[in-house]
Chain A
Amino acid sequence: MRLRIACLLAGAGFALAPVRAADLVAEIRDSLGNLVADAVIYAEPVGAAAPPPRSDARATIDQVNKEFVPRVSVVRAGTQVSFPNSDNIRHSIYSFSPAKTFTTKLYSGREAAPILFDKTGLVVLGCNIHDKMVAWVLIVDTPWYASSGTDGLATIRGIPAGEYRVTATAPSVGLKGYSVPLKLDAAAARQTFVLEAGS
């Protein structure tokens, strides 16, 4: 299944910063050289503030066939994440992660209210009823992020030129992330990350 992240703020960013923009393509591999899917990259500007987040930022993590869809999500802090239940059984979502601790009651359909993820960090979601259901939500303070597909490539589109600290991590497969400083210009940039095992 293809992962889709809607980023409604992309156009606004370009309007506020009339600098030329480009795409950053990150190739993520593990120490054995395998391409890593569901890896996450995000770029934080160095020496400049990131554009403020939108107050109505929304994200959705669905529950289909007793799985979270998508399993790995990246959201900007302050995003309201809704947890629709596409299954015909009930789920009860919880998180013991410090970035966001919460519990929903058993529900089905769209009964659960959206949950505001206001702190950066990694939140691991589980279902109190179905122990096997796990989802990871990475909460960052930057609009420039992306996740990798099965080709191991994650592409951040339209990122203005400037200096950035680019971080790659893949918590769902147990790989430890790290950051690299990167100076971007108008030209498309390509960066390879090799992730070590760890959490």
Chain B
Amino acid sequence: MRIQRLQTRIIVFFVALLTLVQVAAFVFVNAANSKNARSKVEEELHVGQRVFARLLEQNADKLKQSARVLAADFAFREAIATHDGGTIASVLSNHGERIGADAMLFVDLEGKVVSDTLRPDAVADGKPRAFEYPALLTPSRDAASASMEVLDGRAFQLVAVPVLAPLPIGWVVMGFAVDDAVAKDLRQLTELEVSFALHQPSHREPWSVLASTLDTGQQRSLLTHLPADPAASARLDMDIAGAEHQALVIPLDDNGSARIVAVLHRSLAGALAAFERLRFTLIVLALLSLALSIVGSVAVARNITRPLESLAVSAARIEQGDYSAPVAVQRADEIGVLASSLNHMRSGIADREKHILKLAYDDPLTNLANRSRFANELEAAITQATRGDGRLSMLMMDLDRFKYVNDTLGHSVGDHVLREVSARLESTVKQAECIARLGGDEFAILVRHSDGDLADLARAIIKSLEQPILFEGQPLDVGTSIGIAHFPEHGRDAQTLVRNADIAMYAAKRDKTGFATYDPHYDTSQQEHLSLLGELRRAVEHNELRLYYQPKVSLHTSNISAVEALIRWEHPQRGLVPPVQFIPFAEHTGYIKLLTRWVLQEAVRQCGEWLRDGLRLQVSVNISARDLMNRELPDQVSALLSEHQVPAALLCLEITESGFMEDPAHAQKVLDRLFDLGVKLSIDDYGTGYSSLSYIMRLPVQELKIDRSFIQRMATDEELSTIVRSTIDLGHNLGLKVVAEGVEDQAAWNLLRSLGCDDAQGYFMSKPLDARMLAMWIRANDGLFTGKAGKQATG
């Protein structure tokens, strides 16, 4: 089991450590004491052994002395010398009692027992019996020998002394019983338990006790511990009737088949008693200190964990983003330092979060909200408005010609413009919840609780931007298009609302109305455009695109020497799709480059084909502003011309004013190279832009096409007809051929001819035709078109 809590871990650690130390101490003390007790007992045993040996020796000496004195007694000797059995027995018995001997024997010089007080019957039968321990019988007159022997199953200290008459005539052997009383005496002197045991190897149970200080039960226990070899001294640990004893086994004299050993032993209990008291004290101390250590470690652990818990609570608060409450731990120790660090961390995180939020939600350039903040604000506003019954609106706007400013004058100017626009927005839009720059020149404004009509606000914004922005004294003219969407009618969620505002903005831009409020109609056309754009890719791959050609008819000669190539899309489901539905979006996405390439290729190819058929026609192709940014365009054109063996003069590229005004320097370079190739260049839709004529004069163009809006209304508008006339004059003065577009009736045709316009193009002559039909039409009308006939011809 893993212990998770620090407090528990500290307590467990301390208690375990203390327990370990105490157990170790206890074990060591126990071992040391036990060892001490044992060695003390052992020492006592050895002392006891020495005392015992000395006692036995002294006893033997004393007995020898007594025996010697007895043997020297004249009356005793005299009685012995009588050789009279009865007398000898009585004197032995008499003198034995005198010195306290328990057995008295007289043994003659041959070693035969003459008389025996212990076993008188054994002698009485008259058959001499040999004395059992002949080694005791030394022939010397002065000798006296003693040993421990067994007589009649009992232990005796035997002493033999010769009887002198005056020569030795035999030995008197005196026996002193070694019985329990002797053992007890020895115990008193040695302070050891004393036992005498007999080892008789021939017996089934070789050991028996002769005399002992032990009771019979203990004696039985003792016997089980005695060693197999009685001749060797041994040091034994014995268990005597449940008590531990240390013992010494001392072999005594060996005079035959049996051997007597003395066993000295002592219980460890006495020596261990002191230790038992010590052990009890130790256990009590251990339990006390254990209890104290538990109390102490609980206190220590709490002292540590309480502030840690408080720190954890604080950290959890910080984790949840609550930076308000400081960590409330006031201490001078490491935890205090940690708390203080946590406090610093808390304020640091709070500061950084503020900073990060600013970075995340503010536009650093304008200090307006950024897209993310706006999205959040919008979501919040929608949530609130949904809950209540509120309304809100958003405005989406971008700047006209901002890209032109940014690209031609540099980003610093662009940034200046953006900052200025921001400032004007902020001063103009007071009721806004949020003004944001979504990126680039795109701005969004969130207005809550609006009355549903933000036209005034939009107009105010447009008005605020009419005043040119000054950069280093130079006025910069930026316009804007604004899309407006209302919640909830134009979208119930932020995404939809933003998209619809965007759609409205594009509509405003397209319709040049300045601002527009979202209309579902926009959405469908927009959707259509978008899906068309997706299908446009397929169109190129599946060859669904066609080129139609509209002839340009000379107003002077009615000759037809030029056509304008116009793209048509034969959609498999929609049928013919007009260019206005996909060209602007192709321009917007950059897909126009591919379209232009395709148109160029097809136009040049067709031009070459006509040329080989003997029809020499100049083909005009519309080039977008993006195409003019394409440096490779001149090379591509050159390659196409040579591939289809078409003279450069038969290709005319039509460019709008805005087309080259986006990046005039770059456009100029591309146009110059095209001009060098010999390709003709034409200004298309002239009169709709704001370009200065002086600028156009620098371009290598040969043709000027007057925008259809002038031509279609000039018959009824005097002012317009004046503009057309002066334009024609201007073009002619600049050496340009002037072409009128959108000629739809005889009146226009006649007027243009009277004004000296060079070529006319329009439905009055012919609608755009495919290549085959156009060839037929030209053959029928070339040089013959006068209006009426042409009308019939086109019928």
A residues neighboring B (CB under 8 Å): 94, 96, 103, 124-128, 131, 133-134
Contacts and interface: CB of A to CB of B under 8 A. Distances in A.
B74 A124 contact: no
A128 B164 CA distance: 10
A86 B78 CA distance: 26
B81 A96 contact: yes
Given A94-B74, A124-B166, A126-B165, 15 more contacts: A96-B77, A96-B81, A96-B165, A96-B169, A124-B165, A124-B167, A125-B166, A126-B164, A126-B166, A126-B167, A128-B74, A131-B72, A131-B166, A134-B166, A134-B167
A124 B167 CA distance: 8
A128 B165 CA distance: 9
A98 B442 CA distance: 168
Contacts of A127: 166
A96 B164 CA distance: 10
A155 B641 CA distance: 189
Nearest to A124: B167
Interface string B77-106: 110011000000000000000000000000
Interface string B57-80: 000000000000000101001100
Contacts of B164: 126, 131
B72 A96 contact: no
Interface in B145-169: 164-167, 169
26 contacts: A94-B74, A94-B78, A96-B77, A96-B78, A96-B81, A96-B82, A96-B165, A96-B169, A103-B78, A124-B165, A124-B166, A124-B167, A125-B166, A126-B164, A126-B165, A126-B166, A126-B167, A127-B166, A128-B74, A131-B72, A131-B141, A131-B164, A131-B166, A133-B166, A134-B166, A134-B167
Contacts of B82: 96
Nearest to B78: A96
Closest 7 CB pairs of A and B: A126-B166, A96-B81, A96-B165, A134-B166, A128-B74, A124-B167, A131-B164
Contacts of B77: 96
Nearest to A136: B167
A128 B73 CA distance: 9
B481 to A, nearest CB: 164
Contacts of A134: 166-167
B164 to A, nearest CB: 6
Interface of B: 72, 74, 77-78, 81-82, 141, 164-167, 169
B124 to A, nearest CB: 24
Contacts of B169: 96
Contacts of A128: 74
Contacts of B78: 94, 96, 103
Nearest to B81: A96
A6 B63 CA distance: 49
Interface of B is mostly: mixed
A94 B75 CA distance: 12
Nearest to A103: B78
Nearest to A134: B166
A131 B166 CA distance: 7
A188 B74 CA distance: 48
A136 to B, nearest CB: 9
Nearest to B141: A131
A131 B167 CA distance: 9
A96 B80 CA distance: 10
Nearest to A98: B83
Nearest to A132: B166
* Max count, chain A CB within 10 A of own CB: residue among B72, B74, B165, B167: B167
B106 to A, nearest CB: 14
B635 to A, nearest CB: 158
Contacts of A124: 165-167
Nearest to A172: B167
Nearest to A130: B166
A168 to B, nearest CB: 20
Contacts of B166: 124-127, 131, 133-134
A71 B164 CA distance: 17
Nearest to B165: A96
Contacts of A94: 74, 78
Nearest to A127: B166
B673 to A, nearest CB: 163
A126 B82 CA distance: 16
B80 to A, nearest CB: 9
B301 to A, nearest CB: 96
Nearest to B74: A128
A128 B78 CA distance: 10
Contacts of A103: 78
A125 B141 CA distance: 16
B782 to A, nearest CB: 188
A171 to B, nearest CB: 9
Contacts of A125: 166
A124 B81 CA distance: 12
A185 B141 CA distance: 46
A86 to B, nearest CB: 19
Contacts of B141: 131
B60 to A, nearest CB: 22
B373 to A, nearest CB: 143
A126 B168 CA distance: 12
Nearest to B167: A124
Nearest to A174: B167
A127 B74 CA distance: 10
A103 to B, nearest CB: 8
A131 B142 CA distance: 10
A109 B366 CA distance: 167
A49 B169 CA distance: 35
Residue from A125, A131, A133 whose CB has the most chain B CB atoms within 10 Å:
A131
A96 B79 CA distance: 10
A66 to B, nearest CB: 12
A122 B141 CA distance: 20
B114 to A, nearest CB: 15
Contacts of A96: 77-78, 81-82, 165, 169
A106 to B, nearest CB: 12
A126 to B, nearest CB: 3
Contacts of B81: 96
Nearest to B166: A126
Contacts of A131: 72, 141, 164, 166
Nearest to B164: A131
Contacts of B167: 124, 126, 134
Interface centre among A103, A125, A128 (most CB of B within 10 A): A128
Nearest to B72: A131
Contacts of B165: 96, 124, 126
B616 to A, nearest CB: 181
A103 B77 CA distance: 13
A72 B81 CA distance: 22
A133 B141 CA distance: 12
B133 to A, nearest CB: 23
Nearest to B109: A199
A31 B318 CA distance: 128
A103 B165 CA distance: 12
A131 B169 CA distance: 14
A15 B82 CA distance: 44
A133 B569 CA distance: 175
A127 B166 CA distance: 8
B371 to A, nearest CB: 145
A131 B74 CA distance: 10
A127 B169 CA distance: 16
A103 B78 CA distance: 10
A26 to B, nearest CB: 25
B287 to A, nearest CB: 79
Contacts of B74: 94, 128
Nearest to A133: B166
A133 B164 CA distance: 11
A2 B138 CA distance: 34
Give the most central of A96, A125, A127: most B CB within 10 Å: A96
B536 to A, nearest CB: 158
A90 to B, nearest CB: 14
A178 B141 CA distance: 26
